[in-house]
């Protein structure tokens, strides 16, 4: 199977690649099936979450722990149960990225991470109770 996106071009995938967000993603509740398109360049730690239902729906994702060392939270029990998480090693956590016209102002959403169970391919966007930024600037200026 394949999906065609203006930015990514033609992307081949199999049924095993599909990640299901049963509850959808905030603002995209009717779009539930996605594939993760990984970037092979480690210098550019951003990936794409591409809908297989609607080719024009995709999101840029990154591992938030690469940018925020103090980022830490407990996955709610309800999410562990819903996603059938048995081993934390099966879990991937991503933050959505917004790259504005001025790339130095790129932000990630720490408040609503995506939790993916790589074993079952079920996923959920979680709104954390912790006080994390909705728009965390990843290229913040270092103080002198």
pTM of structure: 0.93
- CA 94 to chain CA centroid, Å, is 4
pLDDT in tens, the chain (144 residues): 999 988 888 999 999 999 999 999 999 999 999 999 998 887 889 999 999 999 999 999 999 999 999 999 999 999 999 999 999 999 999 999 999 999 999 999 999 999 999 999 999 999 999 999 999 999 876 544
Cα–Cα distance measured from residue 100 to residue 36, given in angstroms and rounded to the nearest whole number: 22
Residue 92 main-chain phi, psi, to 5 deg: -120, 140
User: For residues 33 and 52, is the Cβ–Cβ distance under 8 A?
Assistant: yes
Cα–Cα distance measured from residue 21 to residue 13, given in angstroms and rounded to the nearest whole number: 17
Report strand pairing: 19-21 vs 122-125.
Answer: parallel
Q: What is the sign of the dihedral through the CA atoms of 121, 122, 126 and 130? A: negative
Going along the chain from its start, the domains and CATH numbers come out as: 2-137 (2.30.290.10)
SS3 category, 125: strand
């Amino acid at each position: 199977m394949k999906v065609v996106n203006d930015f990514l071009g033609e992307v081949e995938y199999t049924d095993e690649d599909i990640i299901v967000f049963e509850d959808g993603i905030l603002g995209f509740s009717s779009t539930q099936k996605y594939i993760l398109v990984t970037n092979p360049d480690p210098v550019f730690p951003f990936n794409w979450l591409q809908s297989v239902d609607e080719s024009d729906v995709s999101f840029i994702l990154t591992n938030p722990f690469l940018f925020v060392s103090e980022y830490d939270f407990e996955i709610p029990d309800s999410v562990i149960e819903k996603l059938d998480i048995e081993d934390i090693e099966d879990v991937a956590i991503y933050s959505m990225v917004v790259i504005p016209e001025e790339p130095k102002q790129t932000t990630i959403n720490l408040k609503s991470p995506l939790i993916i169970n790589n074993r079952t391919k079920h996923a959920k966007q979680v709104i954390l109770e912790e006080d994390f930024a909705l728009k965390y600037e990843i290229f913040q200026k270092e103080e002198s």
